[in-house]
Structure 1
Amino acid sequence: MRAWRAAATLAFALAAGTAQAGALRYCDTPTELTHEQRDRLFRFAEVVRSELQGSGQRVALVSRAGIDLSRFGERYSHAGLTLQGSAMAPWSVRQLYYACEEKRPRLFDQGLTAFLLGMGGSDGGYVSLVFLPEEAATALERTALDDRAALSLLAGEYSANAHAWAQRYLNCNQWVAELMGMAWGGTPAGADARAQAQGWLRGAGYAPHEFRVGFAPMMWLTAVVPWLHHADHPPEDLAGAVYRVSMPSSIEAFVHARWPQARRVEFCQAGTRVVTRQGWTPIAAGCTAEPGDRVLALD
C-alpha cells in the first residue's frame, strides 16, 4: 500500500508541477493570497533581489520549491535563470513553462517577485541561488539572452517527467540543463540543438535525478495525466519503475562538481521569519536556522 501511495504522489505531483509561471503555474485558478501574505512575499522577494544585486554577478541559477516532493527527497521542483540584463526587468527569470491553452512548452520571462508566487506554500517556501565563476557565468548569460539559441532548445512536446536523454519531450528543468550544455559545450543552435547539448552533458558527467517509484504498475497511472508520458523512457526503466528526470538538485549537483568554487545561497520564508544560508548545506526542514545563518523578521 505504501508503494501505491508513493507512486500516486509522484505521478500527480509531477503532473501538478507543470512548470508554469506565476498565475500560469497550474492549469487551474491559483490560490489567492491574503493582503498580509502578499506583502510578506514582496518583502521576501526583496531579500532575494538584494542578494542578487550585491553579488557582483549578472546571472544565477534560481530554483523554487513549488511542489511537495519531500517524500522523494527533493525540495526544489522548478529552475530557471535570473538575469540582470533581462530586457523585461533586472533579474527577471527566463524559464520554460507549459501553456495550458496551447498545450505546448513556451519560453517565458517573468519578474522575480512573480516567479516566487510559484512557491508551494501560501506562508512561504524555499528558494536557491547558485552563482558561477566568471567564465562559466559569461557563457551562460550570453546563451540565455540569445533568443535564437534559447528557442532552439524548445523543440519537443511538454512532459513533466521528460526523460533526460531523449528529445521527444521537454520540461522546465531539462531546458535549463540543455541551455547549460549549449553554453559551456559551445554546441550550436539548429535542428539538432537538443541532441548536441545532451551529448555534451553526457560527456561532462551530468546525471539526471532518478525517481524510483517502487511499483511498476503504478507507472501507468500517468496514462490519465496529460502532462506525463512514457514513450521516451527506456523499457528497462519502465520495468524497474524508474524515471530519469532533470531536477534542480541534479543541475545544482552538476554545477558544484564542475565548479567547486560556485557559490550557493538558500533562502526560506516561514510566516514572518526569513532564513538565509551561504553554502551547499541545505536549510533544515521547517526553515530552522543554525549558527552562521542570517535571520530576518518580516514585520
Structure 2
Amino acid sequence: MISRWVARAAVLLALCGAVFAAQASSYRFCDKPLDLDAAQKDRLFRLGGVIKTALEEHAAGGVALMSRSGLDLARFGHRYSHAGVSLKANTDIPWAVRQLYYACDEGRPRLYDQGISGFLLGTEDPKEGYVSIVFLPEADARRLEAAALDKHGALSLLAGVYSANAFAFSDQYQNCNQWVAELLAGAWSDTPIGSRREAQQWLAQHDYQPSRFDIHHRWMLSLAMVFVPWLHRDDHPIDDLREASLRISMPVAIEAFVRQQVPGATRMEFCHNERHMVVRRGWEPIAEGCTPGDGDTVVPY
C-alpha cells in the first residue's frame, strides 16, 4: 500500500518532463529514453517535420516558445509539462529547443539544446502526444532571441539546485519552466535583469500567475519528499503548504502570461496518435484524444 502511494506521489509531483524523466513505478528517477518501435519513431519524426515547417513559416525573429506533453498530469488539468525556446539561429541544430534539464549524473540543472525530434521523444506516451508553439511579433521575438542566445545572461538565470515542484517566486530552487518564465523577464524588462530574484520581481509586478497544484493530501507531499530527490517544500510559503496547494511555473501559465503581455502573440497546437496528426491555429486547445475540430488540419497516417 505504501509503495503504491509513493509511486503515485512521485508521478504527481515530478512536474518537469525534461530530458531524463521520472519513472516512479520502479523508483528509478533518472530513466533511460523510451524504447520506441519503428512506427512510433516514424510518427514522431513526421510530426517534427510538420513543426519545423510551421516554425519556418510563422516564427518572426527566428524564435518561438515551445511546450510538449510529457508526464501524465491530466488529473491536475495539465496537458503540458515542459517548455523551452526554439531558436533558428542555433549553430548546431536550427530550431533546437534551448531548455533547462536535470543532469542526473551531476545532480544539478543544466541548459541544453535539443533538436525538435529529440524534444518530442521526451513524451511519456509515444502513442499520443501534444506540442504547443507560441509565435511572437517580431520586436518581442527579437528581444527574446537575444536573451536566449546571450550565454552569460541565460546562465545568470540558472539555479544551482533543481526542484521539479519549485515555488515560482523563490530563487532557492528552479524547475525547467521557471527558467523559461525568468528568461522572458530578462528579455522584456526595460531595465537590465541581473538575477533570478529581479526576474521574479518583474514577473510579479506584471501579474504573472503560476499554476496551482492542489495535492489534496499533505501526507502524500511529505512522503514523496522522502523518496524523490528533486522534490522540495522548504521554498513554498507556509500558507500554501497548509493548504497542500503549490504554485509552480508550468507551460500553461507561461502561455497565458505571454498572451496577456504581448498583443499579437499567436498559437499553434499539434498532436498525434496512431491514426493521424492534427494541427490547430488559435488558443483553444485540441480536444482530448487528439480529436480534430472544425478548421483543424488533419494528416492521416
Q: Contact 1:187–1:196 at 8 Å: present in 2 too?
A: no
CA distance in 2, matches of 1:221, 1:34: 35
CA distance in 1, matches of 2:280, 2:105: 39
Q: Contact 1:156–1:167 at 8 Å: present in 2 too?
A: no
Gaps of 5+ in 1: none
1:295 to 273, 282, 298: 298
| SS of the residue 1:183 aligns to | helix
Give the aligned partner of residue 205 of structure 2: 203
CA drift of 1:269 comes to 0.2
Give the aligned partner of residue 71 of structure 1: 75
Q: Contact 1:181–1:187 at 8 Å: present in 2 too?
A: no
Q: Contact 1:40–1:272 at 8 Å: present in 2 too?
A: no
Give the aligned partner of residue 175 of structure 1: 179
1:218 to 217, 220, 223: 220
2:118 to 95, 103, 114: 114
| SS of the residue 2:155 aligns to | helix
| SS of the residue 2:58 aligns to | coil
Give the aligned partner of residue 40 of structure 2: 37
CA drift of 1:155 comes to 2.3
CA distance in 2, matches of 1:259, 1:204: 12
Please give the residue correspondences for 1:94-133 in structure 2 after superposition, counting only pairs within 5 Å. 94-133=98-137
CA distance in 2, matches of 1:9, 1:184: 38
Say how many residue pairs are matched: 290
CA drift of 1:194 comes to 0.1
CA distance in 1, matches of 2:34, 2:117: 16
Cα gap change, 1:245 to 1:146, in 2 (>3 Å): same
CA distance in 2, matches of 1:276, 1:96: 27
Q: Which amino acid aligns with 2:18?
A: Q
Cα gap change, 1:294 to 1:68, in 2 (>3 Å): same
CA RMSD for the aligned pairs?
1.8
Please give the residue correspondences for 1:80-91 in structure 2 after superposition, counting only pairs within 5 Å. 80-91=84-95
1:245 to 244, 248, 258: 248
Deviations 1:208-262 (A, max 9, x none): 0010112222221222211100110111111110111000000001011112421
CA distance in 1, matches of 2:58, 2:294: 22
CA drift of 1:8 comes to 6.6
CA drift of 1:31 comes to 2.3
CA drift of 1:30 comes to 2.4
CA drift of 1:18 comes to 4.4
CA drift of 1:59 comes to 0.6
CA distance in 2, matches of 1:25, 1:237: 26
Q: Which amino acid aligns with 1:202?
A: A
User: TM-score scaled to structure 2, two decimals?
Assistant: 0.92
In the alignment, structure 1 residue 92 sits paired with structure 2 residue 91? no
User: TM-score scaled to structure 1, two decimals?
Assistant: 0.92
Q: Which amino acid aligns with 1:143?
A: A
Cα gap change, 1:267 to 1:236, in 2 (>3 Å): same
Q: Which amino acid aligns with 1:32?
A: D
Q: Contact 1:85–1:91 at 8 Å: present in 2 too?
A: yes
CA drift of 1:134 comes to 1.7
In the alignment, structure 1 residue 255 sits paired with structure 2 residue 258? yes
CA distance in 2, matches of 1:60, 1:14: 27
1:265 to 262, 265, 268: 268
* Aligned residues with identical type, % of pairs: 52
